[in-house]
Amino acid sequence: MAYNLKQTLNKEERFSPGHRMCSGCGATIGVRNVLRGLHEGDEAVITCATSCLEVSSFMYPYTAWKDSFIHDAFENAGATCSGVEAAYRALQKKGKVKKTHKFIAFGGDGGTYDIGFQSLSGAMERNHDMVYVCYDNEAYMNTGIQRSSATPMYADTTTTPVGSVSEGKGQNRKDLAQVIAAHNIPYVAQTTFVKNFRDLHTKSEKAIYTPGAAFLNVLAPCPRGWRYNTADILEICQLAVDTCFWPLFEVIDGEWIVNYTPKKKLPIEDFLRPQGRFKHLFKPGKEDLIADFQAEVDRRWDELLKKAR
């Protein structure tokens, strides 16, 4: 079916207002638009790792979720979602379930890249018919902006503070989409909030309706942790894509596809400069740190282009 932006935006909201997430939060923007990938009439079971998203969207007995919702521990969103999906298939065989249900797990980068990776890897390897969505804000934002393995090199966090003996996080970020693609599942994609959201909408629908396991990695900026002007979130996402810090791509049955190549690849400074977590990189004498960052972005971009040939 051809993509129709107006029709997609007019779908019923499955994540309602009234939650307690921060103004301009990338997680809520991601959730609303991922759920627009569901077809009307289909029901979803949502599992959600402990996170900003969970603690702010479900305060018993109140919930912002219109579909069935399960709060998981930090480490087991993948296991819970895969278990419910397996139970659904068993009930289907017995004729006890007639409606179409889709299974979607949400987790931040802390609960996905790190603490929940084992259960995520198991669910993907078993090829459960489910989608795992990581809203990647690049740190443990819910518990105080501590570094995760998704945090970029040189970022200032509460556990990698910038000071006289530290330039921020010393390691490069983990490339989780590549790790999950190595599980040989049917669908992996990386996306964010650009232009009219078409990339996120179409990839969400593909992920939800591809038989078997699917994984979406969604860059979801956090104004508190990244320290940018709240209204600039879409500009920040576009800069992430145009600098190739966050390439848009899919891996469909092992085939790598780059969805967007900037006409003019911007320098990484354009992405870093608006964010307070990188302000120390623009002090005199720190040019070598930006050069290191640029070299790593270039290396990963070139590697991706080779995979997609």
Going along the chain from its start, the domains and CATH numbers come out as 5-307 (3.40.50.970)
In order along the chain (309 residues), what is the average pLDDT of each group of 10 residues? 84 86 89 94 93 86 90 94 97 92 96 97 98 98 96 98 95 97 98 95 97 98 95 97 98 97 97 98 96 98 95
Respond yes or no on whether the N-terminal peptide bond of residue 61 is cis (omega within 30° of 0): yes
Nearest CA among 194, 306, 207, 195 for reference residue 250: 207
Among 39, 36, 32, 14, CA closest to 101 = 39
Cβ contacts of residue 211 below 8 Å, gap of 6+? 129, 186
Specify the pTM: 0.96
The residues that bridge with 219 in the sheet, in sequence order, are 136
Longest dimension (CA), the chain: 69
Residues 9 and 32: beta-carbon distance below 8 Å: no
**Residue located via tokens 């190595």:** 182
Query: CB-based contacts of 20: which residues, under 8 Å, 6+ apart?
Result: 56, 57, 59
Give the DSSP H/E element, type plus range, for residue 7. helix 5-9
What is the rounded CA–CA span in Å between residue 127 and residue 158?
Answer: 37
pLDDT of residue 265: 97
- Residue 1's pLDDT is 59
- What's CA 11's distance to the chain center, in Å? 22
| Alpha carbon 44 to its chain's center | 19
Cα–Cα distance for residue pair 219/24, rounded to 1 Å: 14
DSSP, collapsed to helix, strand or coil, labels residue 301 as helix
pLDDT, position 284: 95
In contact, 30 and 218? CB cutoff 8 Å: yes
- Apex CA 288: angle with CA 287 and CA 289, to 5°? 90
**Dist. CA 66–CA 88, nearest whole Å:** 19
CA dihedral 199, 201, 204, 206 (to 10 degrees): -80
